[in-house]
Amino acid sequence: MSTSATEEIALVTGGTSGIGLAVTRKLAARGVRVFLCSRNRAAVEETVGGLRAEGLDVDGTAADVRETGAVEDLVRAAVERFGPLTVLVNNAGRNGGGVTAQITDELWQDVIETNLNSVFRVTRAALAHGGLGADAPGRIINIASTGGKQGVPLGAPYSAAKAGVIGFTKALAKELASTGTTVNAVCPGYVETPMAVRVRQAYAATWDTSEEDVLARFHTKIPLGRYSTPEEVAGLVTYLTTEDAASITAQALNVCGGLGIY
Could you report the per-residue pLDDT of 220-236, keeping only the tens digit for each? 999 999 999 999 999 99
Determine contact, residues 185/252, Cβ cutoff 8 Å.
yes
**75 and 137 belong to one structural domain:** yes
Do both 79 and 209 map to the same domain? no
What is the predicted pLDDT for the residue at 6?
A: 45
Which residues form the catalytic set? 158
Residue-level pLDDT, tens digit, the chain, 262 residues: 443 444 899 999 999 999 999 999 999 999 999 999 999 999 999 999 999 999 999 999 999 999 999 999 999 999 999 999 999 999 999 999 999 999 999 999 999 999 999 999 999 999 999 999 999 999 999 999 999 999 999 999 999 999 999 999 999 999 999 999 999 999 999 998 888 888 899 899 989 999 999 899 889 999 999 999 999 999 999 999 999 999 999 999 999 999 998 9
Same domain, 179 and 246: yes
42 in the same domain as 32:
yes
The total of structural domains in the chain comes to 2
Q: What pLDDT score does 198 carry?
A: 87
pLDDT of 196: 85
Q: What is the pLDDT of residue 42?
A: 98
Question: Which amino acid, residue 180?
Answer: G
Q: Note the pTM of the prediction, 2 decimals.
A: 0.94
pLDDT at 183: 99
**Starting from the edge strand earliest in sequence, which strands make up the sheet with 9-13, in order?**
58-62, 33-38, 9-13, 87-90, 139-143, 182-188, 252-255
CATH number at residue 135: 3.40.50.720
Do 77 and 207 lie in one domain? The reply is no
Contact, 122 vs 88, CB < 8 A? yes
pLDDT at 5: 41
- 194 and 112 share one domain: no
Same domain, 105 and 221: no
